[in-house]
Structure formats: structure tokens, C-alpha cells
Amino acid sequence: MKFKGQHILSTKQFDKNGLLAFFEVVKKMEKVLEDAVIHGKQSKLCEGKILATLFYEPSTRTRFSFETAMLRLGGRVISNFDMLKTSSAVKMETLFDTGKVVSQMADVIAMRHPEVGSVAELARFSDVPVINAGDGSGDHPTQGLLDVYTIWKEKRKLNGLTVGIIGDLKHSRVFHSQCEILKFFNVNFVLISPKALSLPDKFKKEIGKFVEVEDLSKVIDDLDVISVNRIQTERFQSEKEAEKFRGKFVVSSSIMKKAKKDAIILCPLPRREELPMEIDNDPRAKYFEQIKNGVCVRMALFCEIFGVTV
Ligand code: CP
């Protein structure tokens, strides 16, 4: 698994040993981040580098996380968070030209787009590495990395864990990325969703063995990892269609009473009713820790892409 000078477009680029080695780099980044946040020591690991964030789809975490990662490493950022409305995409500029042009100015590009494959399309024409920050219902490789890093950090292992993946498994690129990474480890997959939102066959083939259920309460006491995500309303034909599935799975405090004492709850956020605020104070809730881990994962990725040794 080599990152130096490479585009990061898909979780398919990762492998087991490479992931474990990468997680060790992320761990070092936790120290770099702590030095910056607590001791005011600015890292210069990416001094002189410029990140361009091109977002054709809304984001709170991912864009800020990439930008924070670059800033914490001493680099700088140029950003457009509304490419569909305020870039020359409005004037029918092609992804070819956007990739070619932005790569004359930035050293690395992080891009999000609503269409599967569009980030890879822009990357074909970019002269600098491009990172997929989410392409439609396709892939979200850095989210997958930070989710699995959080499990590895919290549980101190991956092999042998029982991982429940709960919600809209059909459309969630986060779940698709999680499956593609967790498949390298000997985890027991429990897929929890309404039948109409079940994991696409291509991912089922990748993970091999799994259990599928519709009712979270039937399996909650088996789970070491409770990975939940919202209904991806933006991927449905209409909001009304999505509403049919709302409230079918809720990680409530009453259901958490039946969960293991050392289980962990993950969520990429944003959340809706599936993750009520009542469990934010449950020590098993790790979704805000995930945010900090995400910054460290992206810091590590920049260092690897630029060949910077920590
Ligand atoms: N987790 C995640 O991708 O969040 P945003 O959509 O806010 O970036």
C-alpha cells in the first residue's frame, strides 16, 4: 500500500499490512496534534504545501477535517465548498479542465461530488494527487480509514470483533468503505437494515460471511461495534420514499441497556433520529472522538502522500 504521490480514490487501494502500518503513523499524528492544540507548537511537516478542497456536495466534517489537517501540519488551504454554484462548473467547465487547472495551483486536492466515479474522473487529468472525499453512494475512503482506526484504537484489535452495521446499507458510501476495509480482518459482520436498504451484492461478495437481520434489538447484545448511519435521503428518488424508512432503527438509551458494557458506538454524522442525543453521554459513544481521529488520519495521509517521514 503506497501513498507517496498517489491519488487516494478507493478503499480498494488498501491492504491489511498497509493499513496496520498506516495506523501507526496516525498514532504519531495524535502527538503532533496534541503538541499543536495543547502546547501551541506548530508543525512544519507540510510547510509550503497547498491543499485545494473542491466540494460539489455539502459537508461539515470532511472538508473542515481535511483543511484542519493541512493547517495543523503548517500547510495552507484554498477552498470552494459550493462548486456546483460558484465555480466555473456553472459555465460548463469540464472535470478535465477543473482537474488540470487546479493542479497547477495546489499540491494536493480533496474533492467531493454527488456522482460515483467523478472524483476518479477529475484525478485522471490532475497533475497532483487527488483524494476522494466522497463520491455519491460510491466510496468515502478517508471516512472508512478513520472509522476503522477508531475501532482499532478503542478495542486494541480488529480480528474477532462482531461489528453491527446499521441503517441504509444500500446507499451509504461510509458503510461501503467500512466493509471494504474490515473485510481484511476476521470480523463477524452483522448487517442490520430494512430489506429494501440491504447491502448491495457486490459488497456482500467482498465481505463473504455475514448475518442479516432487520431488528437491532435481536442482535444488540452480540455487538462489539455498533456502527450506525442515517437514511441517505439525498440518494432516494424523493424525500417521501426515504421517509418510509425513518425511525426503523434507533440506537436509543433503552436499547443500549442490552448492549455490551464495552461496546462502542460509531457514526460518521450528521445524525437524525437514529442516534438520539440522550446517548451522547454514554461512555460507549465514540462519534465525537471519531472527528479528532479523522483529523489525525488526514494528517497522516498528507505526510504519506508527500513522502514526509514523521
Ligand atoms: N462524515 C461526513 O462525511 O460528514 P460530512 O458530510 O459533514 O462531511
Residue ID of nearest Cα to ligand 1 atom 3: 62
* Class of domain 141-286 as given by CATH: alpha beta
* Beta-carbon contacts of residue 99 (< 8 Å; ≥ 6 apart): 109, 122, 123, 124, 125, 126, 130
Select which of 27, 28, 61, 204 is catalytic. 61
Could you identify the residue written with the cell 442516534? 275
Helix (H, G, I), strand (E, B) or coil at 259: coil
Q: What is the pLDDT of residues 98-143, one digit of tens each?
A: 999 999 999 999 999 999 999 999 999 999 999 999 999 999 999 9
Cα gap 299→153, rounded to integer Å: 17
* Pocket perturbation via mutation, ligand 1, pick of 54, 59, 291, 292 by most ligand atoms within 8 A of CB: 59
What type of residue is 218?
K
Percent of the chain with pLDDT over 70: 100
Using a 6 Å CB cutoff, which residues line ligand 1?
Answer: 59-62, 134, 143, 268-270
Domain spans in the chain, listed from the N-terminal domain onward: 11-140+291-305, 141-286
With vertex at residue 221, the alpha carbon angle to CA 216 and CA 227, rounded to the nearest 5 degrees, is 55
Known catalytic membership, residue 91: yes
Q: What is the CATH number that goes with domain 11-140+291-305?
A: 3.40.50.1370
Predicted TM-score of the model (pTM): 0.95
Residue 136: what pLDDT? 92
Known catalytic membership, residue 62: yes
Question: Do 11-140+291-305 and 141-286 agree at the fold level?
Answer: yes
Q: Which of 147, 131, 151, 126 is nearest to 63 (CA)?
A: 131
CA atoms within 13 A on the CB side of 289: 19
**Residue 73 and residue 108 in contact, taking contact as beta carbons nearer than 8 Å:** no
Select which of 62, 68, 98, 142 is catalytic. 62
Q: What is the pLDDT of residues 233-280, one digit of tens each?
A: 889 989 999 998 888 899 999 999 999 999 999 999 999 999 999 999
* Pocket perturbation via mutation, ligand 1, pick of 60, 234, 291 by most ligand atoms within 8 A of CB: 60
Select which of 112, 113, 171, 248 is catalytic. 112
**Residue 128 and residue 106 in contact, taking contact as beta carbons nearer than 8 Å:** yes
Q: Residue 111 Cα, ligand 1 centroid: separation in angstroms?
A: 12
Q: What is the pLDDT of residues 145-174, one digit of tens each?
A: 999 999 999 999 999 999 999 999 999 999
